[in-house]
Structure 1
Amino acid sequence: MEMEQDKLGHNFLARLGKAHLRPGGRVANDWLIANGDFNKEKKVLNIACNSGDTAIALATKFGCNVTGIDLDEEALEKARHTVTENKKVSDLVEFVQGDIIQLPFSDNQFDIIVNEVMLTLLPLEMKQQALTEYLRVLKPNGLLLTHDIMLETKDEAEDVIAELEDVMNATIAPLTKSEWKENFKQCGFRNVDTFSGEISLFSPKGLIDYQGFAGVLKIIGRALKTKNHKSFIKMLKAFRDAENKLEFIAICSQK
């Protein structure tokens, strides 16, 4: 599933200043955090950490040790630079390059794994391979917190998924709620709890919640530049079309 990093949709959004690709916005994120039992004693793994915003935020808020992993070395360099300048968490956060299908960690190493949207981008077999790896590196009774995209129904979803794949330049493979839960259970997870609702990635409220009013204005300003305008409008339309057929799903499960 490799492709040129500069063509990936999430990297385009990051250049505009849209730091978080969270379909359920702050509501879903807050639900996951509330279920995560974070504290300074916990060792946390942040899957597909990108530029490190989530890893740094968790270490700052809870004082926990966080390891971020991503394939994109350029994003990791940015993350390392950011954490080096943040003296409060520089001893708590590290970033490593690696593949989620073959995590470079020993068994039973982490108390919590945080994985946002990554599973949606994997075909079914790779979803199961990733979940099996997450289970391996989690400690007994450890928690997996995921935030993904959910099909409301299998009917009439093909067109909107194809549109999203086009604008994101990536595979989009969401599942229904029952399919998500069944896959987690098949891979060995228990106590699979879910929270779902409307996608708010590009809604005015969702944008302001995460970016702030000034941040939204900056995104709009960058999006309206000639080199970005066409791609942004196309992406905005795709996610607006998806709102009627797709939802977010946040999942808290246990080893």
Structure 2
Amino acid sequence: MTNNYLDLLANFGIGGAHPGGFFLTQSILNKEQIQQFETVLDIGCGTGQTAEYLTKRYGCTVTAVDNHPLMLEKANTRFLKSDSPVIVIEGDIQQLNFQERSYDLILAESVIIFTTIFSTLKKLAGVLKIGGRMILIEMVAEQSLTEDLYEKACSLYGIKEILDEAEWKVKLGQAGFTQIEIIDTPHALTQTEIKDINPSDTITLDYFELWDEHNRFITENSGVLGYRVFRCIL
């Protein structure tokens, strides 16, 4: 199923499009004390910015997964140029067959909300090692949303549900995670400066208009929609 917003990100080739951007990613990872022997699963890797950083900074084994062919094409170009030994897999995390208990760390940067949330969380819990950790950066509802706003957000981003912080924690617990903490970050859903971009040769006007609509939406609803960084241990 197509998603116009994800198509937009793929065509512009935007790295670090998630809330907080790549600076937030670096600050989170630098506190994780990632070891060279660890295995990392980067779900919804996009153009590969985080996966490349992991291999270069920590020397760990990284598997990057995305179901968008153009995203992976640009990710593979990045990995080739930087000689990054990332294992790349194209597919939907909900459908892929990974070996159980095979990863020390899972990352999902504004990814799970674009899937069937609980199904994906259960799948990820199954491939994470006992005692392993999972870090999610995800949109949350800061207050009850009007029906109008809920429908507009779901339509704009091609998502099915918007959870508040407590609802995310409930689903994470039901999926099997025993320790769930919120990493201290700003909660505002604001547009971050884009420094990593690899645009396609031809981008239609529709994508520029959608990008403007996205920016207007998060500006107008900054107090209603936010994000959280969840650190979860199995």
Q: Secondary structure at the match of 1:103?
A: coil
1:30-45 paired onto structure 2 within 5 Å = 30=26, 32-45=28-41
Shift in Å, 1:128: 1.5
Q: Is the counterpart of residue 137 in structure 1 residue 127 in structure 2?
A: yes
Mapped to 1, the partners of 2:96 and 2:148 lie a distance apart of: 34
Quote the residue 2:178 is aligned against.
Answer: 190
Mapped to 2, the partners of 1:14 and 1:113 lie a distance apart of: 22
1:115-154 paired onto structure 2 within 5 Å = 115-122=108-115, 126-154=116-144
Question: What letter matches 2:140 in structure 1?
Answer: M
Q: Is the counterpart of residue 199 in structure 1 residue 188 in structure 2?
A: yes
Quote the residue 2:68 is aligned against.
Answer: 72
Q: Is the 8 A contact 1:102 1:133 kept in 2?
A: no
Deviations 1:79-113 (A, max 9, x none): 222212212x2xx3110112211332101111100
Q: Which runs of 5+ in 2 are unaligned?
A: none
Distance 1:172 1:77, change over 3 A: same
| CA-atom RMSD in angstroms | 2.7
Q: 1:174 aligns with which of 162, 176, 185?
A: 162
TM-score, scaled to structure 1: 0.79
Question: What letter matches 1:240 in structure 2?
Answer: T
Q: 2:153 aligns with which of 147, 155, 164?
A: 164
Question: What letter matches 1:103 in structure 2?
Answer: L
Distance 1:230 1:33, change over 3 A: same
Number of matched residues? 231
Mapped to 1, the partners of 2:33 and 2:48 lie a distance apart of: 21
Q: Which runs of 5+ in 1 are unaligned?
A: none
The 10-residue stretch of structure 1 (75-84 or 243-252) with the greater mean CA deviation from structure 2? 75-84
Q: Secondary structure at the match of 1:10?
A: helix
Larger helix proportion of the pair: 1
TM-score, scaled to structure 2: 0.86
Q: Secondary structure at the match of 1:40?
A: coil
The 10-residue stretch of structure 1 (243-252 or 96-105) with the greater mean CA deviation from structure 2? 96-105
Q: Is the 8 A contact 2:108 2:137 kept in 1?
A: yes
Q: Secondary structure at the match of 1:181?
A: helix
Distance 1:174 1:37, change over 3 A: farther
